[in-house]
A and B are shown apart, each in its own frame.
Chain A
Amino acid sequence: MIELTDVSVSYNDKVVLSEVSLRLTERRIGVIGSNGSGKSTFARLLNGLLLPDHGTVTVDGLDTKSQAKDVRQKVGFVFQNPDNQIVFPLVEEDIAFGMKNLGFDKATIAAKTEEALKRYDLWDHRSHAAQFLSGGQKQLLAISGVLVMEPSYIVFDEPTTLLDLRNKLTVTRAIRELEQTAIVVTHDLDLIADFDRVIVFANNRVMADDVPEVAIGKYREAMGDV
């Protein structure tokens, strides 16, 4: 379980998240809100990329402030733009990066790389330059690079924003099929329509927290889409 207790975050004296307390226990959680509402800040808190100014964030009891390394292994993070997440030139090298950082042995790295690439039909591209993959393939590569680190939770920060419809559907399917808990920050309301829970951020606070139908309804209402 990921738990936020009375969490606040500020940048240059500007409050970007205020007094948020949440317990994240469901398998599929959507996070929506207008631009600047604090949802990306919320996402970055969950694996310790950002630390709260006030309050605590714990992942299965581990504090993101004092046990950052263990938290990072438990919580994977997939960014909006896969081009900024793929750090090695070749597909298979990039998959191996996270595993090497965690100290996996060579045989394990090779086996898990093969498994992950075959899962997303990237095996034939293993020795290719990542720059030549399509947008959807790059996002699947980014997801693979996180999955092989065996996280219990994966946070997605607007994973389909830069994708065309075909690639969006591919990535949506990949998220739905994950065994891990997925916390998805998005503007794509279709993506989270069948999730277990949706949290709506507005004015740097939680405005609604409910099942998708209710939470998305409140969000639409707040945005004037009624």
Chain B
Amino acid sequence: MFDLYRPGTSFLHRAPAGGKVLALAVLGTLTFLTDDIRIIAAGLAVALLLYPTCGLTLKNAWAQIRPTLWILIAIFIAQVIFNTWQLGVFVVARFGLLLLLAGLLTLTTRASDMIDGIERGLPFLRLLGVNPAKVSLALSLALRFIPVLAQITKDVREAQRVRGLENSVIALAIPLFVRTLRMSDDIADAIEARGYRP
């Protein structure tokens, strides 16, 4: 779901971002209201069909699942051990469906449109003392900076490998933490310098 927007003219590309976010929330909730594997399987088939319909490839669909493959396998094994293999298939299929649907949202929606949609759709958050503009900017920053953080992690890991510290979690975590904090200061300054007033 952290894949980035692919330009296109399909009906999902043209659909309002707020509607797509809402649809994802509703469909995501519905998957937890059923215990029928046939419904989840039908959902998976429709989601997979939507990828080529929207000008995307099945490779794009696989890219949504791939990063979580080990987690899915672990969930399946845990279900097989503590419950049944059928439940394992069901849980993994449901998780996969959620990932595919979330991927469809990010691949067919610009972050800025998603932010506008979320800001319009979450005014009730103000009643809870939460500013929707800040929530939507946080989401956008997550989409923007996950690849940057991945690159920093890679850089730090390489630097520690040179020092023979490739197996030390602390040697990776501390510099990563420090660099991320420094970066966050700069980002805050940059956002402020560009006139952001939530």
Contact = CB atoms under 8 A, between A and B. Distances in A.
B193 A72 contact: yes
Most chain B CB within 10 A, of A77, A85, A87, is at: A87
Interface stretch (A28-36, A95-103, A163-171, A175-183): A95-103
Nearest to B195: A101
Most chain B CB within 10 A, of A69, A83, A86, is at: A83
A167 B186 CA distance: 22
B interface bracket (residues with beta carbon within 8 Å of A): 20 to 34
B196 A88 contact: no
B195 A79 contact: no
Contacts of B112: 88, 90, 93, 96-97
A210 to B, nearest CB: 29
A131 B140 CA distance: 14
Contacts of A102: 195
Interface in A118-150: 127, 129-131, 145-146, 149
A47 interface: yes
Interface string B1-22: 0001101000000000000000
B144 A88 contact: yes
Interface string A74-94: 001101010111111110010
Contact of A89 (B5, B190, B194, B195): B5
Main SS of the interface on chain B? Answer: helix
Contacts of B5: 89-90, 127
B144 A69 contact: no
Contacts of A101: 194-197
A108 to B, nearest CB: 15
Contacts of A96: 112
B4 A90 contact: yes
Interface in B111-169: 111-112, 140-141, 143-144, 147-148
Contacts of A86: 144
Interface residues of A, number: 31
Contacts of B197: 69, 101
A52 B99 CA distance: 49
A88 B144 CA distance: 6
A73 interface: yes
B140 A47 contact: no
Nearest to B113: A93
B148 A83 contact: yes
A69 B194 CA distance: 10
A15 interface: no
Given A87-B191, A97-B196, 18 more contacts: A44-B189, A47-B193, A49-B192, A69-B195, A69-B197, A77-B189, A85-B190, A87-B144, A88-B111, A89-B140, A89-B143, A90-B5, A90-B110, A97-B112, A98-B194, A127-B7, A129-B147, A149-B195
Interface of B: 4-5, 7, 110-112, 140-141, 143-144, 147-148, 183, 186-187, 189-197
13 contacts: A72-B195, A73-B195, A76-B193, A79-B190, A84-B186, A84-B190, A87-B141, A87-B187, A87-B194, A88-B111, A89-B111, A89-B143, A101-B195
